[in-house]
Amino acid sequence: TPLAAPALVAAPVAAVELGDALFLVAPDHIAIQRGAAVTRVPPPDGAWAEAIAMPALDDAATWVVARTAAGTLWRITTGGDLVPIHDLLGLAPPIRSIASTAAGAAAGATAAFAMDHAIGVLHDRAHLAQFPLPDGPGALAVSPTRLAIRRADQLEVWDLGARHRARFTVPGLVAAGFAGDTLVAASRDAVFVEADHQLHRRAAPAPITGLAIAGARAWLATTAGLFRVDADRLTRADAPAADRVLGLAGGDLVTATARLSPARPDDDPRWIADVAPIFRRVCARCHAPPGDALDLSTAAAWRAHRAALERRVVETRSMPPAGTPISDADRAALAAWLR
């Protein structure tokens, strides 16, 4: 799906979705796309560095939070307003890195914030625990239960429950993330997938230009195209090559010019065309992995729960829950697929 022309950015560094709003982050501005409308938000200082979706502190909603290169944190509304949140979080700038499971409003979503000598972890909307960081900050990645810190060729992985730490060395390490709770790392010529507490190397089919986590799946961007990282293989997707690919919590991928919904083995074309766009707009905040709500990010999941979904979406209309906007046209499209 092409992005609206005003939203194009030359070098996207992050992409976050909140309801019907897509936040595409570049150093010089954040483009917020809602349908055909685009709002641009310049950085209040320096340049934008990264952005996440995280559990709101004041209610059951989700915030989009962006970090500048100067180390300041800002909540960004869908209308483009900036709200400083250092005092709300109890974190003193500069903040060197941020990460989230991007699980939206789902219980168990985790957000992490690296400072020079400590790291803050928010896991329950109310309490932000701080831990010492004697080796200094690095790029962060989190799952609901674990956290990874990337420094040069080193990955330090924390088990947030057991308070256990492990270290991995990946020569030429350029990116890392969690696909569900599985650690995935990439160098320029290989991808490393965690199994049995080890990282197993798999040669890439072409030079790697990026690693993206979309929902609970990992994707490699290479000069030869896009590849899904499965447990035992790399599967090429029917998508163009891109210098930079970013993942969304609902499972889609974003480049500077397009939004991609790579086909999965268990998805059918009609579900992708008719249901997936509604899922992203209406359902993904609660039903995209990871999260406590039922995962409905695939056609297989909708087929497995067809009877319950038809009853709740079509008959009783108890799904989506009150307060979640859905148009009559969207509900009719879901009804047509479910029946």
114-142 confidence digits (pLDDT tens): 999 999 998 777 778 899 998 999 999 99
pLDDT of 297 reads 79
Whole-structure pTM over 0.85, yes or no? Answer: no
Q: 103-136 burial, b for 16+ CB within 10 Å, e for fewer?
A: bbbbeebbbbbbbeeebbbbbebeebeeeebeee
pLDDT more than 70, % of the chain: 91
Q: What is the pLDDT of residues 54-94, one digit of tens each?
A: 888 766 678 999 999 999 999 999 999 999 999 889 898 99
Average confidence score pLDDT of the chain: 86
Kindly tell me if the per-residue pLDDT of 105 is higher than 50.
Answer: no
Lowest-pLDDT range of 13-22, 153-162, 233-242? 233-242
Q: What is the pLDDT of residues 255-300, one digit of tens each?
A: 877 788 776 656 677 887 888 888 878 887 788 765 567 878 788 7
* 108 pLDDT tier (thresholds 50, 70, 90): low
- 172: which DSSP letter? T
- 272: which DSSP letter? I
pLDDT of 7 reads 47
Kindly tell me if the per-residue pLDDT of 103 is higher than 50.
Answer: no
Q: Which of 258, 263, 280, 257 is nearest to 326 (CA)?
A: 280
Q: What is the distance between the alpha carbons of residues 327 and 322, in angstroms, rounded to a whole number?
A: 13
